[in-house]
Amino acid sequence: MWTLCAALLPELELLDLAAAQVLATSGVPRELRDALASLTAAVEANPADAEARFRRGAVWQALGRPAEAVADLREAVRLVPGHARAWLLLSEVLPALDEHEAGRDARTRAVRLDPTLLR
């Protein structure tokens, strides 16, 4: 999963040292801690930033935190209903919360928005 996060978050820098310190002793890879802290700061600075919410959702998924991932991804697609990658990631995370039908619906929506996602 870190490969996905690295592809989505290559430009991020540590912006929230306090959040990183909380995660520092948790065994979470530094890259994920840094990404989460940076994205949390971005969301706090601009709650309407759908891309930051999408990326933070990807980090939450990589951390095995599906509820947090779904919350961010749902907000991302609410803000930008045409965000195909957010719909696709949401479709992958929802089953972890036993929301299988919603996951299928999200996948259908993602593919309708961008059929190249499944290539």
Specify the CATH superfamily of domain 2-118: Tetratricopeptide repeat domain (1.25.40.10)
Cα(86)–Cα(77) distance, integer angstroms: 6
**The model's pTM:** 0.78
d(CA 1, CA 60): 10
Structure letter (DSSP) for residue 12: -
Name the one residue in this structure whose structure tokens are 């994920």. 32
- Model pLDDT for residues 68-113, shown as the tens digit of each residue: 999 999 999 999 999 999 999 999 999 999 999 999 999 999 999 9
Place of tokens 């299988």: 100
What average pLDDT score do residues 12-35 get?
60
